[in-house]
Structure formats: C-alpha cells, structure tokens
Amino acid sequence: MLRTDEILSTMQMLHAEHLDVRTVTLGLNLDDCAGPDVDLICRKIRQKISRYAQGLVPACDRLAGRYGVPITNKRLAISSAAVLLAGHGTQAAVEIAHALDVAAGEAGVDLVGGFTAFCEKGMTSADATLIDSLPMVLSKTQRVCASVNVASRRAGINMDAVGRMGRSLLEIAAATASNHGFGCAKLLVYSNIPQDNPFMAGASLGAGEAEAVINVGVSGPGVVCSGLRRRIETGDKLTLGDLAEEIKITAFRVTRVGELIGREVAQELKVPFGIVDLSLAPTPAIGDSVGEILRILGIDNIGAPGSTAAVALLTDAVKKGGAFASSSVGGLSGAFIPVSEDSVLADAAARGHLVLEKLEAMTSVCSVGLDMIAVPGDTPAETLAAIIADEMAIGVVNNKTTGVRLIPVPGGKVGDIVEFGGLFGSAPIMEIRNSGASSRFVNFGGRIPAPIQSLNN
C-alpha cells in the first residue's frame, strides 16, 4: 500500500514542478535500406520507419495517460545516414533526408536524428557527401537532425574534419539566414559520440545496437530546483554535501519514471528497451532551468567563480542517483547547459556574467558541451573550427562525450537577442574574444594524435 505523503509528493513533482519524460526516442537501424537506386532507398526508408514507428506516438500517449506523466517529445534516431550515401552524391543525400523528413512526419515525431558521419580518424566519400549536403538538408527539411563525430579518445582529433565543420557551419547559417541560421541548431559536432543518445540534435543509433530500440531521456531541472528550495527552507544548517544528497534523491525519483515509461513503451512496441539518459535537460520555461539550480546552490551570477564546481556537484549527484535507479543508464547522462534553451543561462549571457570561456570550462565537468550558443555571423570559419577543436580536446583528454552546437547568426552582432522559438528558446549573441587569431593553427589540418592514457595529471 502507498502512503498518502508518497502520493502527494509525486503529485507535487508531476503537476506543480512539471516533471515529464523529456523524450522517448525510437532507435532504428536503416542499413538494410542501402542500395544503388535512390528512389528505392527512399521507399524502403519510409516503409521501415512506418513499420516500426507507427505505434510509437499512440503508445506514448496511452502510457502518458495511464501514469499521468507527460511525454514531451517522441523522436526517431536512425543509424548513420552516411551508410546510405555510399556511392551517391549530395542530390541523393537531399532526397534521402527528404524521405526521412516525410517518414518522421507520418510517424508523428517532431525530429529524426542520425544524419550522422563518423570521421574522427578519416573521412569516407560518403561522409564527405553527407557534410557537403548539410546546408541543403538542414535548410530544406524540417525534422532532420545531423551530427558529425570528429574526435575520439582512441583516434584523437581529426582537424581536417574540424576545419570542414567550421566552414560548414557558416554555409548552413547562410542557407537558413532568414531564420537566424537556425539550421545550425539541428547539427551537433561531437567527440566520443555515444551509441544511444536519445536527445536531439545529436541522437543517432550507433554501431553495436539492436535493429530497433527504445531509449528514454528524462528531465527534471524544475523538480531539482523545488527539492533544493524545500530543503533550504527547512532552515537546517546545510552543507553542499546535504544539497548533493537532495539532488541525488530527486535524480533517483526522476530516473525511475523514465525507466518505467521506457520499459513499457518498449514492451508495447515489442522492441528492446535500451537506456535511460540521466541528463538534466532544461527548457526555456521559467523554473525548468539548470542555471536556476546553480543559483540555488549559491552562485548568484551564473559564470561567476564557483560555477564550474557547482556544475560538477550537480552532474555527479545526478549520475549517482540515476545509476541506482536504473541498470540501463546510457546516452549523455549529465547536466546540459544549452544557453538558448535555459532562460537563466541566456539571461546570464545577456548580462555579460557568462562568457564563452567560462561555458567551456563548465563543459569539462558536465555534458554535453558548448550547446545552443549564438555567435556573430561574421566569425571566421577557422575561429569556429578552433572553438570546436577546444571542446573536442576537453572530450578526448577527459574521456567523455562533448559536443558543439554553435549558431553563427547571419548579420548578427554581439548582444543582439536571437529568437529560435519553442524548445530552442532565445539567446544573446555572445562575444568571441580573439576572433581570427587561431587560423594558422586550424589550417595546419591533419590529426591531433590520441592522448596518452597513463600519466593522468
């Protein structure tokens, strides 16, 4: 039997603190759709997605009703589209992306990830085709999301690919200039890309995964904020250890919700359950903010000294609580600090408290990286590439996933506020100091060798 206080506390989380399941993502392998005939590839893609995904949204809706838990996003993550592009050109890439877009729409999902190339060590012609097609793909489709892995712990950093992504960002921004370069919001540049990330824009189904699998991303910054506030309001003398404990308990509860929903969706769709991603994913909604958690932890201006330590505390507590709640933890699993998607972070950036360099430092202790950051549209490609290279280095050396989602806003100047809409939020254009001063470094190209795995200081 449940106790009344347990029921009331869950009701509080669900209905006052906006606990939801942020995403249920169906991973689907499309390798068997490859072939020499583009029309046939597209037909197969639509048939396969329809076969596996048509039940996704109804199943999520039924379970959301059964448990009274909103499932905010239902999404698809396909195996690397580069496999489908082998032997084809950019026109085929655009047609395939269009087929994915249509199939995702028919399945009722808002985004489909997996337009992905793995080029941490080298680049195949299919990878090059995929990257070349990104400006067209991300401007002509609505739902397709792309990612490019340019670095890994084992391979080091492919600086040729990094340089290419710097140029690609400017091309994508230009192709979506009427929308403030929004195409770049659908592209993540990775180091150590996970096989099973359910969160967009970087979701894809990696090698070693099943034919189809359900992965779940939980949410909960709002719940963590409320839990911390309640604990502080008790008036007890608290240490950071006590606050970490509170976050841990909340993360446990949140993760159990994700696990419950994920397993039951998987059971209904008759596909395996993959992982719960423990990441605290903020939204622009007031209160649903990782920045707000940092403020409650005592950082008055996000970006002030102490911000990195506070994020480290938060990320670790979330992982500890989540790891006990689920035996199937995966994906990115940390705390996201996407600037435009988190109103408190966006505000800190607008006030000049939070600068790019501090964000970079914070990403060394949390997932996923420099995320949803608007920068001036006239930033040189080499500088964008150098920012990517810095973030990749943090991932490669620290053996963790990092990503970069920069949006060079065409015509945008430092301080302009850019509105991306919906969950993507709005953000000020941030200053890049020393812009243009790392071109020679990037233009050397080649590969930064993989780091030594001993002598770990």
Partner 1 sequence: MDNSARHAYVLNVMAEDRPGIVALVSREVVYAGGNIESCSQTVLSGYFTLIMVVCFPEPLAMEDFIVKLTGASESEHGLQIMIRPQRRTPEPIDLKDAENFVVSCFGPDTAGVICRFSALLADKGINIVDLYGQLRGDQFVLISQVQIPRRWDLAMLQADIEQLGRELGFTVRLQHENIFIATNQLRLTRTVNPIHATDQK
Residue 201: is the preceding peptide bond cis (ω within 30°)?
yes
Q: Which stretch in 93-101, 257-265, 425-433, 449-457 sits in contact with partner 1 by CB under 8 A? A: 257-265
φ and ψ at residue 254, rounded to 5 degrees: -65, -45
By CB under 8 A, is residue 328 in contact with partner 1?
Answer: no
- At residue 424, what are phi and psi to the nearest 5 degrees? -80, -20
**Which strand (E) or helix (H) includes residue 104?**
helix 90-107
d(CA 405, CA 147): 10
**How many residues bind partner 1, per CB under 8 A?**
28
Nearest distance from residue 256's CB to partner 1, in Å? 4
Q: Does 196 interact with partner 1 (rule: CB under 8 A)?
A: no
In 3D, which of 234, 242, 130, 260 has the Cα closest to residue 187? 130
Residue with tokens 């985004």: 111
Q: Find the binder of partner 1 among 256, 295, 353, 447 (CB under 8 A).
A: 256
Handedness of CA 217, 221, 222, 225 (dihedral sign): positive
Where does this chain touch partner 1 (CB under 8 A) — which range of 6-14, 32-40, 163-171, 315-323?
Answer: 6-14
Binding partner 1 by CB under 8 A: which of 54, 124, 179, 267?
267
Q: How far is the CB of 100 from partner 1 (least distance, A)?
A: 27
Residue 230 interacts with partner 1 (CB under 8 A)?
no
Which residues in 47-76 contact partner 1 (CB under 8 A)?
A: 58, 62, 65-69
Coil vs helix vs strand at 313? helix
10 near partner 1, judged by CB under 8 A? yes
Distance CA 218, CA 253 (A): 11
Q: Does 2 bind partner 1 (CB under 8 A)?
A: yes
Q: Which of 6, 32, 106, 419 binds partner 1 (CB under 8 A)?
A: 6
Least distance to partner 1 from the beta carbon of 177, Å?
45
The nearer residue to partner 1, 18 or 143, going by C-beta atoms, is: 18
Residue whose CB is less far from partner 1, 268 or 416: 268
What minimum distance in Å lies between the beta carbon of 66 and partner 1?
5
Q: Which of 110, 160, 245, 268 binds partner 1 (CB under 8 A)?
A: 268
Distance of CA 258 to the CA centre of its chain: 17
Residue 13 binding partner 1, by CB under 8 A: yes
Under the criterion CB under 8 A, does residue 120 sit at the interface with partner 1? no
Q: Cβ 335 to partner 1, closest distance in Å?
A: 20
Give CA–CA dist 273/199, Å, rounded: 16
At its nearest, how many Å lie between partner 1 and the CB of residue 396?
37
Any contact of residue 46 with partner 1 (CB under 8 A)? no
298 binds partner 1 (CB under 8 A): no
**Distance between CA atoms of 7 and 88, rounded to whole angstroms?**
56
Check binding of 167 to partner 1 (CB under 8 A).
no
Whole-number Å distance between alpha carbons of 449 and 338: 29
252 touches 322 (CB < 8 A): yes
R_g over Cα of the chain: 21
The token pair at 380 is 């040189």
- Cα of first residue to Cα of last residue in the chain, in angstroms, is 52
H or E, element range at 214: strand 212-218
Interface positions with partner 1 (CB under 8 A) = 1-4, 6-11, 13-15, 58, 62, 65-69, 253, 256-257, 259-260, 264, 267-268
